[in-house]
Structure 1
Amino acid sequence: MIKLTIPGRPISKSNFKLHNIHGQAWMPAKGKHSKYLAYENMIAGYINQQYQGEQIEEDLITVLKLYFPDKRMGDLHNYPKSICDGIEKSGIIKNDKQLKPVLLFNYIDKEEPRVEIFLYPVSKYDVSYTITEK
């Protein structure tokens, strides 16, 4: 199991997309909308500081724990894309398609907003789901 921590408030990819006249989405490299690319690069940098191993070629069970400073978190389903793109950009995996399944949890931590990433190689770990009635 690999645990990685990215400090700071998580950033959603959908907030920074622009669309051309044909409706195609694109991510600008400059200006106020470039914040997403900076976040993706920041994720890659922190991962490269924390993980010194070989590039991982197998699929990984991925657990993302998002810690927000307050209840303003937006649509949680938009956060994994920015995080998974940052993981791929770090070079520890070849393609973010290797990150499956992705389990997403959200918490409030006013003092230390962050993203915790847990990667479990499918050759060593299995995941099961249990949903029980209250």
Structure 2
Amino acid sequence: MIKLVIPGRPISKSNFKLHNVNGQAWMPAKGKYSKYLAYENMIAGYVNQQYQGEQIEENLITVMKLYFPNKKMGDLHNYPKSICDGLEKSGIIKNDKQLKPVMLFDFIDKENPRVEIELYPASEYAIEYNIVKK
């Protein structure tokens, strides 16, 4: 199992996309929208500090724990894309398609917003879950 921690408030990719007149989405490299690219690069940098192993080529069971400073978090499902893109950019994985399944959890931590990522090689681990009535 590999555990990675990315400090700071998670950033959603959907907040930074622009669309051209034909409706095609694109990510600008300059201006206020370049904040997303900086976040992606920041993730890659932190991953490279914490993991020096070989590039992983197999599928990975992925657990993402997002810690926000407050309840203003937007649509939770928009955050994994930026995190997955940062992981791919770091070189730890070949393609973010390898991250499956992905389990996503959100928490509030006013003092220490962050993203915690746990990667479990699918060849070594299996996933089980139970949903129980309260």
Q: CA deviation at 1:48?
A: 0.2
1:38-92: CA deviation from partner (whole Å, max 9, x where unpaired): 0000000000000010000100000000000000000000000000000000001
SS in 2 for 1:82: helix
Distance, in Å, in 1 between the alignment partners of 2:52 and 2:38 is: 22
Paired amino acid for 1:24: Q
Q: CA deviation at 1:129?
A: 1.9
SS in 1 for 2:66: strand
For residues 100-119 of structure 1, what are the structure 2 equivalents within 5 Å?
A: 100-119=100-119
Partner residue, 1:4:
4
Paired amino acid for 1:62: T
1:17-54: CA deviation from partner (whole Å, max 9, x where unpaired): 00000000000000001110000000000000000100
Partner residue, 1:47:
47
Distance, in Å, in 1 between the alignment partners of 2:52 and 2:89 is: 15
**So what's the TM-score if we normalise by structure 1?**
0.99
SS in 2 for 1:73: coil
SS in 1 for 2:80: helix
Partner residue, 2:56:
56
For residues 61-76 of structure 1, what are the structure 2 equivalents within 5 Å?
A: 61-76=61-76
For residues 116-131 of structure 1, what are the structure 2 equivalents within 5 Å?
A: 116-131=116-131
Consecutive unaligned residues of structure 1, counting only runs of 5 or more, are none
Distance, in Å, in 2 between the alignment partners of 1:103 and 1:39 is: 21
Paired amino acid for 1:131: I
Distance, in Å, in 2 between the alignment partners of 1:74 and 1:52 is: 33
Instruction: Report how many residues are paired.
Output: 134
**So what's the TM-score if we normalise by structure 2?**
0.99
For residues 18-33 of structure 1, what are the structure 2 equivalents within 5 Å?
A: 18-33=18-33
Distance, in Å, in 2 between the alignment partners of 1:59 and 1:84 is: 13
Distance, in Å, in 2 between the alignment partners of 1:24 and 1:34 is: 18
What percentage of aligned pairs have identical amino acids?
83
2:63 is the counterpart of 1:92? no
